[in-house]
Structure formats: C-alpha cells, structure tokens
Amino acid sequence: MNTARLTGKVALITGATGGIGAATAELFAREGARLIVTDTDAAIVETLAARLRSDGAEALGARLDVSSADRWARVVESASDRLGGLDILINIAGVVDWAGVEDTEQRAWDRVIAVNQTGTWLGMKTAMPLLRASGNASIVNTSSVLGIVGSGSAAAYHASKGAVRLLTKTAAVEYATQGVRINSVHPGVIATPMIQDILDEQGNQQPDIVRTPMRRAGLPREIAHAMLFLASDESSFITGAELIVDGGLTAH
C-alpha cells in the first residue's frame, strides 16, 4: 500500500544493494521518495535503480565507497544537480569482521572502522549543507545491538557501531536547531547476506537467535520500516534517539 509518507523528499541510501538497503530503497520508493541509491558495485547499483524506475520511482544509481571523501563529494553533487537537493540520508553501508581483540588483524580493523565509522561521518559531513538547506531533513545511521552490548567477539565491529551510536547523538545535538534530525537504528539478528551462511548452517539454533525472546531472525523489511518512520515527518520530535529492532535480544 502506498501511503506517500515521503512524497516530495529526496533520499540518499548507502549500502543499497544489501538486504536491508534494498528493502529500504524499495519501501522508500513506494512511499514516494525520489532516490539516489549507492553501493560499491556500479553494475549492481544500476540494476537496482532500473528496477525501481520500472516500478514508477525516480531513482539514480551511483557507485560509492563510503570511506572515500572524493566519492562522497561526487554523489552529493549528483543529488544537488540531478534531484535538486537532499532531505534524507540513510547510512546503511557496513562490513563485519568476527575476530576478537587478539585475533583481529590491523588491516581488518582499519577496513571496518573506515567503512562503518568513517563512512558514516563522511556522509553526514558531506551531505549536511544540502540537508540544512532542506530545512526539514532526517539522517538515519545504522548501528547495531552490538553498538550497545558486548558479545565477546567482533572487536572492530563493536567499536565501529558503538562509535556510530554516539556520533549520532552528538550530531543530533549539534544540528537540533538547524532543521536536521539525526537518529540511529540498531538491528539485532537480521536475515541478510552478511550472516546468511551462519543462518543456513544453524537456523533458529544460532546462539543469538536462541537468546532472542521472539526466537527468530528479523527480516530486512522490518528494519526498513523503522528507517521509514525515522525518515518521515511522523518522527518530527525525535532526534538523538536509538531505535532498537532486535526481537527483544537486548531486553534481558
């Protein structure tokens, strides 16, 4: 059902070809947003953009390595030149390394921090002039339940997602009177390509699912709907908040 909750808004989505990213792009398109969808593979991004256009949306595809300031500048310039501005920034792009503190290689650490943490900051920094010009803008940064609680592994991922959580909060305070709301979404175990091999092997016996009160993995569309709420004017008095979508995993 199209309720046109984003009609008239331009949204930029990173990591748009992944499970959560694609679900978010498809939902935003149905809700009337004009889109610029990005990821590291130009061909796959353009396939997504073409599919959205075939369904009646206005959508541009662009290659974006979120750790590159130059690539961010080009994509934001495209949003300005081709779509006339920007109202919504959805930072989803992310990578994971599962090693603990001693087993994490510095190359893996640097890559996770560059994409998850630096990429989120660069996106906000580069897009902020357009978002401020909107006068009614929203940024949604993707953290994780692993940005709130520890697991005993994935040291770099925890560090990056915890940083995203507090970066979101301080930016929300900084821009609260400038027409830009900034919030974070914290998914729990979600059935995405990032963990699909684990889910295929362990199913609902995967330890984090066992610890989840709802006893299942979440679906990408369930995160997309959280993104939609925070991107839309329905959340107009919400900034600096963390929306946890985890089936109850962090409730105990």
Assigned token pair, 245? 């979508």
The confidence score (pLDDT) of residue 2 equals: 54
Active site residues: 157
Q: Which of 62, 166, 168, 66 is nearest to 112 (CA)?
A: 66
Query: Does residue 1 surpass a pLDDT of 90?
Result: no
**What confidence tens digit (pLDDT) does each residue in 44-79 have?**
999 999 999 999 999 999 999 999 999 999 999 999
Query: Looking at residue 194, what is its pLDDT?
Result: 72
Q: What is the pLDDT of residue 218?
A: 95
To which residue do tokens 């900051």 refer? 121
How long is the chain? 252
- Three-state DSSP at 218 gives strand
Q: Domains for the chain: give ranges and CATH numbers.
A: 10-186+220-245 (3.40.50.720)
Report pTM: 0.96
pLDDT at residue 183 in the model: 99
Which three-class secondary structure state does DSSP give residue 114? helix
Contact predicate 65/126, CB 8 Å: no
Contact in structure between 91 and 139 (CB atoms under 8 Å): yes
* pLDDT at site 202: 87
To which H or E segment does residue 25 belong?
helix 19-30
Q: What is the pLDDT of residues 205-220, one digit of tens each?
A: 888 899 999 999 999 9
